[in-house]
Amino acid sequence: KAGVTQTPRYLIKTRGQQVTLSCSPISGHRSVSWYQQTPGQGLQFLFEYFSETQRNKGNFPGRFSGRQFSNSRSEMNVSTLELGDSALYLCASSLAGTGSSYEQYFGPGTRLTVT
């Protein structure tokens, strides 16, 4: 089975721009979660999508948004980029439904640099 794929792998943007990152989950996985990893804050949960609905949300400003398509692929968008948004953005997929918690499998990440 193919793993989680993320595109693009690297991205350089300028302050004020917006960016869209894409994630394709493992086949059959319906849950997709997004995380931001920075040296200072570590790994922080952004949001989770399950069956095209946002099911959980972390403590990030509204500039961070996402969506999930009917094939479970997900995108996240960051508008009005700030220097502090420079980070590794990780996507993870799992079988998570309701009533349990399954292991998440992570993609290689998108390294975003904001200048």
Partner 1 sequence: AQKVTQAQTEISVVEKEDVTLDCVYETRDTTYYLFWYKQPPSGELVFLIRRNSFDEQNEISGRYSWNFQKSTSSFNFTITASQVVDSAVYFCALSGTYNQGGKLIFGQGTELSVKP
What is the contact surface with partner 1 in residues (CB under 8 A)?
Answer: 31-33, 35, 42-45, 48, 50, 55-56, 58, 88, 90, 92, 94, 96-109
| Amino acid occupying residue 84 | G
Closer to partner 1 by CB, 14 or 103: give it: 103
Residue of 83, 79, 89 lying closest to 111 (CA atoms) = 89
Q: What amino acid is encoded at 28 in this protein?
A: G
C-alpha closest to that of 35 among 106, 102, 97:
106
For partner 1, give the closer residue by CB, 27 or 80: 27
Q: Between 16 and 69, name the residue whose CB sits nearer to partner 1.
A: 69
